Amino acid sequence: MTIEFESPKPIVQTQFVLKTVAEEMMRSRSRYFDEHEHEIPWDYIEFMHAAMKSLGAGSLAPKEKGNGKGGDQEKEKRPPIAYQVLAAQIETLAWGDVGMYLVTPGGSLGAAAVQAAGTTEQKEKFLARFASDKPTFAAMAMTEAGAGSDTSAIRTRAILDEKTQEWVINGEKIFVTGGDKSITKYEKLGKGYIVVWASIDPAAGRAGMRAFVIEAGTPGVCVTKLEHKLGIRVSDTAAISLQDVRLPFDHILGSPTVEKTTTGFKGAMATFDATRPLVSASGIGVARAALEFVKEKLAQSGVTLRYGLPRQKLTNLEREVMDMEIMLKSAWLMVIKAVWMADNKKPNALESSMCKVKAGDVTTRITQKAVEIMGPLGYSREFLLEKWFRDAKITDIYEGTGQINRLVVARHILGYSGSELR
């Protein structure tokens, strides 16, 4: 078996195009949007939507393979690389500005949940809208004030109205990334939605969890708060209230049959298996930006990194920078493995959590060390390094904290269930 480390041509091409976007539309305005939190970068959103449409893509999301007929037969012979391309896209955009990357129009976690837990009909209905004439967003709402990492503690409730055959949902969700643009009806945006995780049977714990699609403009849905944050400040993080929200029966993702199985919880976890490597890629983009800044400033000061020498002959500065490079590359290789497995339909729950742990750790360590090495230059708002330091920390928090993902890794390796190892 031959292992190749050269990036496939589609990845190289997309990185080249998006690097220009990152430099011209993101880096140049990073400071402005960091200081004007919650101001929406409409020109970036509209540009990216138009660009993706011209490329035949409705959003930053992996595409289904062809049907194998005619010209698609040759495509079927090629190794699947959709998630690998997506990881490269995200890493490059996050290198530009991770907050602005998070406001790139598309399905994000909401679409990932539909992809993981929805029926064929639901995928066709809810994923097709990202190719509409207007930029469209989707988000996932899971976290609650009393249910963060412990998803079995979710209190949002979905009850079936037997007379109307509608679902009635009540609850409160917090820390919904992109929740405002997904659920609020903006004139410039298409009809987005949030995927809300609720319990149809609280006594059943995780087995009672189900996902529901709630579209923008649905009565009873209200954004009650936009968080003021340490980093990724241009990306809205919303608190959402759900009061007697009525949904069509088929807005429950997956089978409409209500049974006490773990299907709902497995749908949530399948969503994270697909998206945790992509979140990891975004963190790595931030870390790469910080590392490149350090190397650039050192070069301008006449400092040369002497590769190839024994470690004991290097200066402490050289060792620190080289250690940062090692951390970055090892984290990226773990991401590549996880997305390769996703592309090839291989179970990647372990690898997904492993790369998330690694990326969360590496991103915070590299950006912190970069600030330390640069001293006053790293702490100054004259440069973006201090912003990248603030942006980096979220990588270790959302999509499952580093602690939770370490538990997931331990359970897989040691063979314990969630109830046995908490």
pLDDT in tens, 88-98: 999 999 999 99
pLDDT of res. 260 = 52
Q: What is the band of 132 on the pLDDT scale with cuts at 50, 70, 90?
A: confident
- Per the CB < 8 A criterion, the answer to whether 41 and 234 are in contact is yes
Write the burial class of residue 348 (CB in 10 Å: 0-12 exposed, 13-18 middle, 19+ buried).
Answer: buried
Please state the rounded mean pLDDT for residues 376-397.
97
Strand 166-177, strand 157-161: pairing:
antiparallel
First to last CA, the chain: 39
- Per the CB < 8 A criterion, the answer to whether 363 and 395 are in contact is yes
pLDDT of res. 219 = 97
Please state the rounded mean pLDDT for residues 27-45.
96
List domains and CATH numbers for the chain: 9-66+75-105 (no CATH), 127-260 (2.40.110.10), 265-414 (1.20.140.10)
The H-assigned helical ranges of 375-396 are: 376-379, 385-392
Contacts of 416 (CB under 8 A, 6+ apart): 410
Q: What is the pLDDT of residues 205-241, one digit of tens each?
A: 777 889 999 999 999 999 999 999 999 999 999 999 9
pLDDT of res. 67 = 43
Q: What is the mean pLDDT of the chain?
A: 90
- pLDDT of residue 173 exceeding 70: yes
pLDDT of res. 148 = 78
Tokens read off for 303: 């400092």
- pLDDT of residue 317 exceeding 70: yes
Residue 317, SS3? helix
- pLDDT of residue 65 exceeding 80: no
**Cα 121-124-126 angle, rounded to 5 deg:** 105
Q: What is the band of 310 on the pLDDT scale with cuts at 50, 70, 90?
A: very high
Please state the rounded mean pLDDT for residues 284-309.
97
Please state the rounded mean pLDDT for residues 56-76.
53
- The percent of residues above 70 in pLDDT, for the chain, comes to 90
- pLDDT of residue 307 exceeding 80: yes
Please state the rounded mean pLDDT for residues 71-88.
74
pLDDT of res. 240 = 98
- pLDDT of residue 73 exceeding 60: no
Annotated active-site positions, please? 399
- The percent of residues above 90 in pLDDT, for the chain, comes to 73
pLDDT of res. 204 = 81
pLDDT of res. 88 = 94
pTM across the whole model = 0.92
Strand partners for 195: 140, 213
